[in-house]
Amino acid sequence: MIGADELLAMAASLVDARQQAQTLHEQAKALRPKLAAAKGDELRRLRAQQRTLDEQRQELLAKADLNRYDATVKKGDGKRGGRTGHLLRAAELPSPAPQGHFLRTFGQSDREVIDNASANAAVTQALALLNGPIDAQLLKADSALGKTLARASDDVSRVRVVYLSILSRQPTADELALGRAYLQRYTDGGVQDLAWALINGREFLFLP
């Protein structure tokens, strides 16, 4: 468990980081009238200065979020039935999740302002599903899905487990035959490939 002193130190660090971030935001905001009137080299210099301030602010906010996240779900804490780190339930995670987390990528609010969540699709979401670690995390040995697959007795059972876990339904006869044939052909990594294909399919993306 996290001690009281550690919680107080974490809170103080968060407050300090956010105060610094707010100061940088105000400095960047103060540049706007100058940017509107500037031209040529002066305009380029002011734009570079504004970008630097914005980058510093984002780094501070990201650091604050990650520190809180690490303190909440560090090794030995935040484990719930074999789920660790990114595999915790949303209710067990700090809110907002740190930048780069799956929830933030898919529109979770950063809580900087009211109603700052997003339901819009984005390229980063597609990249997270195509190239991100989500399928590997789902199939880790200590994950709920990984443990269930370890108890599966044959390829048919494994295909059923993956479909039920990701799409919440049984595979059709054709899907079962295709999945079984794939796992028999690719014994090393076949289950992860199947999970990746389902996660990136239309049915998962637009599941009501």
For 40-51, how does the pLDDT look when each residue is reduced to its tens digit (9 = 90+)? 888 888 888 888
3-state secondary structure of 99: coil
141 and 79 part of one domain: no
- What is residue 125's predicted lDDT score, i.e. its pLDDT? 84
Tell me, yes or no, whether 115 lies in a domain: no
22 and 79 part of one domain: yes
Residue 83, strand partner residues: 80
Our count of domains for the chain comes to: 2
Angle at alpha carbon of residue 145, lines to 143 and 150, rounded to 5°: 95
Query: What is the rounded distance in angstroms from the CA atom of residue 84 to the CA atom of residue 177?
Result: 33
Of the three residues 91, 116, 136, the one that is the final residue of a domain is 91
Q: Would you say the pTM of this structure is higher than 0.85?
A: no
Domain hosting residue 54, numbered range: 4-91
User: Where residue 202 falls among pLDDT bands split at 50, 70, 90?
Assistant: confident
200 and 135 part of one domain: yes
Tell me, yes or no, whether 105 lies in a domain: no
3-state secondary structure of 189: coil
Tell me, yes or no, whether 102 lies in a domain: no
Contact yes or no for 101/86 (Cβ under 8 A): yes
131 and 86 part of one domain: no
DSSP 8-class letter at 83: B
**pLDDT greater than 70 at residue 115:** yes
User: Where residue 10 falls among pLDDT bands split at 50, 70, 90?
Assistant: low
Residue-wise pLDDT for 190-200, tens only, equals: 898 999 999 88
Mean pLDDT taken over the chain: 77
11 and 78 part of one domain: yes
Tell me, yes or no, whether 99 lies in a domain: no
Tell me, yes or no, whether 101 lies in a domain: no
Query: What is the rounded distance in angstroms from the CA atom of residue 14 to the CA atom of residue 19?
Result: 9
Of the three residues 47, 73, 91, the one that is the final residue of a domain is 91
**pLDDT greater than 50 at residue 2:** no
Tell me, yes or no, whether 63 lies in a domain: yes
